[in-house]
Amino acid sequence: MPDLTTDHSRAALEGAHSHGAPAAARYVSSRADRPTSFDPADIPVPHGREEDWRFTPLKRFAPLFDLDAVGAGTAACPTAVAVRVDAPQGVTVEALDRGDDRLGTVGAPVDRTGVVAWAAFQSSTALTLGAGTALGRAARVTVLGQDPGLENPAASHLLIVAEKDATGTVILDHVGTAALTQTVEVVVAEGANLTLVTVQGWQDEAVHASNHRVRLEGRATLKHVVVSLGGDVRIASDFGFAGEGGHIDAYGVYFTDAGQHQEHRPFVAHTEPHCYSRVTYKGALQGENAHAVWVGDCLIGFGARGTDTYELNRNLVLTEGAKADSIPNLEIENGNIEGAGHASATGRFDDEQLFYLRARGIPEIDARRLVVLGFFNEIVTEIGVPEVEERLMAAIEKELELTGLIAARAGAEMADPTQA
């Protein structure tokens, strides 16, 4: 990965992928050394053997690898994915041509879907929180999929900038059905405090890949929240610092249903002194072939003295047939730090918690519901956006109704095998 702290120009980033061997031929032991480029020729279509793609169902995401198909779909059917913005006073909303100098300054694409998204988008929707602004309410960007047959794979680009000392919340809400590859560039300037929430509330048929490329300048603060509830999703979030004293809290919540694939790949590159990051993701899975993937990476570079970082992933498997892969990675090149660590766990219900609740007369289905709500509540309350918290808890309650039905059916089948 290029050093974004020294040169933010697109010209410097183009060709910043590794030199010599083609991207596909290089083996990289560190996520920080991934080939990156704005040129699709440098990041070929994956075959599934690559470390970055070995968990991903390539057939489902294959339409988003094809630059010709995505480009044609985006141009031929601009309504396949509509972007609508509701912004309060203090936010400037613009449609930027792809040649605008403000685009492509945060970092280069890191994978095939990312480079296709960059090469195929027609125009970018840009939101700028003005310097010194304190928003009275959240700005909302609704990404509406209107392609139920997934016939027009599309690309989109969003730019979100919080200027110096700005404070506010931006919500990206994805609904409907589409095959979408997306770039979200985020710049948080000195002294700014931004909360960015992205909700994947797609219909089940949707396929969504997104590259979030984030830069914090100086003593900026970012709360980055990913909520994945619907569709097959793969979200790669790359966080970088461009100055001393930056602060990142990255939260993720997901509920993966039968046959669904939800993959989250946060990466924090600590390259500057005295920066702070916490990455905390929690997910629940239920149903046959539900698959959740979390790969969390953190780099502490040679110049990142005084770093304080930790990453955590927890998965709760609610039914048989669901699978979670959870891989935390920590690379330390400077031992003069405040602290660094990671933790990961995947398990089923806590039998002691269930026993405690049932011993007090609570039926098993209700006891399971309380355990799951408690599992999520710790992270949901950290989101800090009431409308998102309420929507998320309502969605979890709805999913738990299905869990109860699955459990009841499983119990009936055990009692009477003829019902299987």
For 138-195, write each residue's pLDDT tens digit: 999 999 999 999 999 999 999 999 999 999 999 999 999 999 999 999 999 999 999 9
Minimum mean pLDDT range among 40-49, 176-185, 389-398, 399-408: 399-408
**pLDDT computed for residue 418 by the predictor:** 44
Which range is most confident: 74-78, 313-317, 394-398?
Answer: 313-317
**Could you tell me the two tokens for 228?**
């994945």
**Could you tell me the two tokens for 143?**
């990404």
Within its chain, how far is the Cα of 214 from the centroid? Answer: 12
**pLDDT computed for residue 74 by the predictor:** 81
Q: What is the mean pLDDT of the chain?
A: 88
| Residue 405 scores a pLDDT above 80 | no
Between 417 and 276, where is the model more confident?
276
Percent of the chain with pLDDT over 90: 70
| Residue 420 scores a pLDDT above 70 | no
Between 69 and 352, where is the model more confident?
69
Q: Average pLDDT for residues 103-111, to the nearest whole number?
A: 94
**Could you tell me the two tokens for 250?**
């990255």
**pLDDT computed for residue 25 by the predictor:** 42
Residue (of 344, 333, 334) closest to 310 by Cα position: 344
Residue (of 24, 1, 21) closest to 13 by Cα position: 1
**Is 42 within 8 Å of 119 (Cβ atoms)?**
no
**pLDDT computed for residue 16 by the predictor:** 37
| Residue 27 scores a pLDDT above 50 | no
Q: Average pLDDT for residues 68-80, to the nearest whole number?
A: 86
Q: How confident is the model at residue 403 (pLDDT cuts 50, 70, 90)?
A: low
| Residue 410 scores a pLDDT above 60 | no
Minimum mean pLDDT range among 218-232, 274-288, 348-362: 348-362
| Residue 79 scores a pLDDT above 90 | no
Q: How far apart are CA 25 and CA 109, in angstroms?
A: 18
**pLDDT computed for residue 28 by the predictor:** 54
**pLDDT computed for residue 126 by the predictor:** 98
Q: How far apart are CA 45 and CA 24, in angstroms?
A: 9
- Phi and psi, residue 405, nearest 5°: -65, -40
**Could you tell me the two tokens for 149?**
């047959």
| Residue 120 scores a pLDDT above 70 | yes
Q: Does an H or E element contain 239, and which? A: strand 232-241
Phi-psi sector, 295: left (phi>0), alpha (psi -120 to 50), beta: beta
pLDDT digits (tens, 9 = 90+) for 290-312: 999 999 999 999 999 999 999 99
Q: Average pLDDT for residues 49-58, to the nearest whole number?
A: 93
| Entry pTM | 0.88
Q: Are strands 139-146 and 81-86 parallel, antiparallel or unpaired?
A: antiparallel
Q: How far apart are CA 372 and CA 91, in angstroms?
A: 38
**pLDDT computed for residue 8 by the predictor:** 36
pLDDT digits (tens, 9 = 90+) for 315-346: 999 888 999 999 999 999 998 999 999 999 99
- β-pair partners for 282: 253, 314
Q: Average pLDDT for residues 66-73, to the nearest whole number?
A: 91
Residue 321: count other Cβ atoms within 10 Å of its Cβ.
Answer: 14
- β-pair partners for 289: none
Locus of tokens 């039914």: 319
pLDDT digits (tens, 9 = 90+) for 185-211: 999 999 999 999 999 999 999 999 999
- Phi and psi, residue 60, nearest 5°: -70, -35
Q: How far apart are CA 202 and CA 76, in angstroms?
A: 22
- β-pair partners for 175: 144
**What is the secondary structure of 300-334 as a DSSP string?**
E-TT-TT-EEEEEEEEEE-STT-EEEEEEEEEES-
